[in-house]
Structure 1
Amino acid sequence: MMIPEFTLGFWVLLHLISPVANYANGKVTEACYTMVPRHGHTSQSEPIHEITLNQTTFCPGDIIKVTLSGPLFKGFLLEARNAKDLNSSPIGSFRLIDEEESQLLNCDQKEGSAVSHTSSSKKTQIQVYWKAPRNTEVSIQFLATVVEKFKIYWVKIRSPILYPSNVHPFTMSQTTTVSSPTSRPIATLKKSFSALDCGGKKFCIRNPVNCDPENEYHCFFLSFERQNHSVLIEMSGPNEGYLSFALSHDQWMGDDDVYMCIHEDETVHMYPSYVFGRSHPVFDSPAVLETMAWRLADGVIQCSFRRNISLPGSKRFDLDQKYYIFLADGVTNNGQIHKHSQQPLITSEKHDVTAHPKNIGGSRSPLLLKLHGAFMFVAWMTTGSIGVLVARFFKPVWSKAFLFGEAAWFQIHRILMLCTSGLTIVGFVLPFIYRKGWSRAAGYHPYLGCVVMILAILQPFLALFRPPSHDSRRWIFNWTHWGTGTAARILAVAAMFLGMDLPGLDLPSPAKTYAMIGFVAWHVGTEILLEIHAYRLTRKVQILEDDRIQILQSFTTAEAEVSPFILLHIRSSCKVAFTEIYPFLFQGHAFKKVVLVTYICGNLAFLFIFLSAISQH
Structure 2
Amino acid sequence: MENMELLLVVSLLFTGALANEFDNSACENANMEPVALDPNRATGRPPYNVTVNAGQYSAGGSVIVTLQGTEPFIGFMILALPESNASGSAIGSFQVANGWQEELVEPICVGRGATHTSELSQVPTFSLALKWSAPSILAGNIVFYVTFVRSEGEYWTKVASRPVWDGISRLPTTRAPEKVTDPPAFSPAIRNDGCGTNKGCIEECEGQKCSFLVTWRKNGNKVDFEMFGTLFGSQGYIVLALSETPDMADASLIACTVDDARRSEVRQYYSEDGRAPYEYVEIGPINKESYDAGVQTNETANYKTMSCRFSYDNDVRDDKWKNLNDELYLIIARGEYSPPDLKEYDGNLKISPTPIQLFDTNYKSITTFKVNILIKAHACVMVIAWVLCGSIGIILGQYYKAMWTNTKTCGQKAWFAYHRALMLCAMIFTIIGFTLILIFRNGKFVLPPQLPTKAHPIIGLIAIICSLLNPVLAAFRCNPDDDKRPFFNWFHWFFGAVAHIFAIVAIFLGMLMPSAVLPEWITYVLMAFCIFHLCVQVILEIHQCCMYDKNRDRQEEYLMINKPGEGKEPKYAGRGFKCGMLIFYVIVASLFTIALVVIIAIWGTAKIPLM
Cα distance in 2, alignment partners of residues 348 and 95 from structure 1 = 34
- Match for residue 425 of structure 1? 431
- Match for residue 392 of structure 1? 398
- Name the aligned partner's letter for residue 317 of structure 1: K
- Name the aligned partner's letter for residue 413 of structure 1: H
Contact 1:401 1:408 (C-alpha < 8 Å) held by counterparts: yes
Cα distance in 2, alignment partners of residues 613 and 415 from structure 1 = 31
Q: Given the alignment of the two structures, is residue 205 of structure 1 paired with residue 202 of structure 2, yes or no?
A: yes
Q: Shift of residue 388 of structure 1? A: 1.3
- Name the aligned partner's letter for residue 273 of structure 1: Q
Cα distance in 1, alignment partners of residues 485 and 67 from structure 2 = 69
Q: Given the alignment of the two structures, is residue 162 of structure 1 paired with residue 154 of structure 2, yes or no?
A: yes
- Name the aligned partner's letter for residue 434 of structure 1: F
Q: Given the alignment of the two structures, is residue 538 of structure 1 paired with residue 548 of structure 2, yes or no?
A: yes
Q: Shift of residue 203 of structure 1? A: 4.9
Q: Shift of residue 532 of structure 1? A: 0.8
Q: Given the alignment of the two structures, is residue 245 of structure 1 paired with residue 256 of structure 2, yes or no?
A: no
Cα distance in 2, alignment partners of residues 347 and 125 from structure 1 = 45
- Match for residue 140 of structure 1? none
Correspondence for 1:76 among 48, 61, 65: 65
- Match for residue 222 of structure 2? 230
- Match for residue 169 of structure 1? none
- Match for residue 496 of structure 2? 485
Q: Given the alignment of the two structures, is residue 354 of structure 1 paired with residue 345 of structure 2, yes or no?
A: no
TM-score by length of 1: 0.56
Q: Given the alignment of the two structures, is residue 586 of structure 1 paired with residue 576 of structure 2, yes or no?
A: yes
Post-superposition CA distance 1:497-552 (Å, at most 9, x none) = 5656666546667x676666554444333212211122123346669999x99xxx
- Match for residue 332 of structure 2? 327
Q: Shift of residue 61 of structure 1? A: 7.5
- Name the aligned partner's letter for residue 278 of structure 1: P
Correspondence for 1:274 among 258, 269, 274: 269
Cα distance in 2, alignment partners of residues 381 and 96 from structure 1 = 51
Structure 1 residues 330 and 371, CA, compared in 2 at 3 Å: closer, same or farther?
same
Q: Given the alignment of the two structures, is residue 457 of structure 1 paired with residue 468 of structure 2, yes or no?
A: yes
Contact 1:505 1:614 (C-alpha < 8 Å) held by counterparts: no
- Match for residue 315 of structure 2? 310
Q: Shift of residue 64 of structure 1? A: 6.8
- Name the aligned partner's letter for residue 205 of structure 1: I
Structure 1 residues 62 and 76, CA, compared in 2 at 3 Å: closer, same or farther?
closer
SS at match of 1:244: strand
Correspondence for 1:345 among 321, 345, 350: 350
- More divergent stretch after superposition (531-540 vs 429-438): 429-438
- Name the aligned partner's letter for residue 65 of structure 2: F
Q: Shift of residue 595 of structure 1? A: 4.8
Listed as ranges, the gaps of 5+ residues in structure 2 are: 11-25, 52-61, 74-82, 84-93, 105-126, 136-141, 157-182, 299-303, 449-453, 559-570
Cα distance in 2, alignment partners of residues 359 and 190 from structure 1 = 15
Cα distance in 2, alignment partners of residues 65 and 156 from structure 1 = 9
- Match for residue 133 of structure 2? 150
- More divergent stretch after superposition (268-277 vs 368-377): 268-277
Q: Shift of residue 246 of structure 1? A: 2.0
SS at match of 1:354: coil
Post-superposition CA distance 1:4-50 (Å, at most 9, x none) = xxxxxxxx9xx9xx99xxxxxxxxxx657999xxxxxxxx9699x99
Q: Shift of residue 421 of structure 1? A: 1.4
Structure 1 residues 329 and 424, CA, compared in 2 at 3 Å: closer, same or farther?
closer
Aligned pairs for 1:114-129 (under 5 A) are: 124=101
- Name the aligned partner's letter for residue 76 of structure 1: V
Q: Shift of residue 417 of structure 1? A: 1.6
**What's the C-alpha RMSD, in Å, of the aligned pairs?**
6.1
Contact 1:467 1:473 (C-alpha < 8 Å) held by counterparts: yes
Give the structure with higher Rg (CA): 1
Cα distance in 2, alignment partners of residues 62 and 321 from structure 1 = 41
Name whichever structure is richer in helix by fraction: 1
Post-superposition CA distance 1:220-276 (Å, at most 9, x none) = 333444455433434343459754312245666576433344679999966352246
Structure 1 residues 504 and 611, CA, compared in 2 at 3 Å: closer, same or farther?
same
SS at match of 1:428: helix
Q: Given the alignment of the two structures, is residue 412 of structure 1 paired with residue 418 of structure 2, yes or no?
A: yes
Correspondence for 1:376 among 376, 382, 386: 382
Cα distance in 2, alignment partners of residues 63 and 392 from structure 1 = 66
Correspondence for 2:534 among 524, 544, 553: 524
Cα distance in 2, alignment partners of residues 393 and 425 from structure 1 = 27
Cα distance in 1, alignment partners of residues 130 and 592 from structure 2 = 65
Structure 1 residues 429 and 593, CA, compared in 2 at 3 Å: closer, same or farther?
closer
Cα distance in 1, alignment partners of residues 190 and 502 from structure 2 = 53
Contact 2:255 2:268 (C-alpha < 8 Å) held by counterparts: yes
- Name the aligned partner's letter for residue 535 of structure 1: C
Contact 2:266 2:291 (C-alpha < 8 Å) held by counterparts: no
Q: Shift of residue 432 of structure 1? A: 3.1
Cα distance in 1, alignment partners of residues 217 and 247 from structure 2 = 25
Contact 1:67 1:125 (C-alpha < 8 Å) held by counterparts: no
Cα distance in 2, alignment partners of residues 149 and 289 from structure 1 = 39
- Match for residue 83 of structure 1? none
SS at match of 1:76: strand
Q: Which of 1 and 2 has higher RCO (CA within 8 Å, sep 6+)?
A: 2
Q: Shift of residue 195 of structure 1? A: 3.1
SS at match of 2:101: strand
Structure 1 residues 56 and 590, CA, compared in 2 at 3 Å: closer, same or farther?
farther
- Match for residue 188 of structure 2? 188
Post-superposition CA distance 1:324-343 (Å, at most 9, x none) = 43213457899998876663
Cα distance in 1, alignment partners of residues 441 and 260 from structure 2 = 36
Aligned pairs for 1:40-119 (under 5 A) are: 75-76=64-65, 95=70
- Name the aligned partner's letter for residue 235 of structure 1: M
Contact 1:290 1:306 (C-alpha < 8 Å) held by counterparts: yes
Structure 1 residues 382 and 361, CA, compared in 2 at 3 Å: closer, same or farther?
farther
Give aligned pairs, total: 468
Cα distance in 1, alignment partners of residues 348 and 549 from structure 2 = 55
- Match for residue 258 of structure 1? 253
Cα distance in 2, alignment partners of residues 480 and 266 from structure 1 = 51
SS at match of 1:319: coil
Structure 1 residues 306 and 413, CA, compared in 2 at 3 Å: closer, same or farther?
same
Q: Shift of residue 297 of structure 1? A: 11
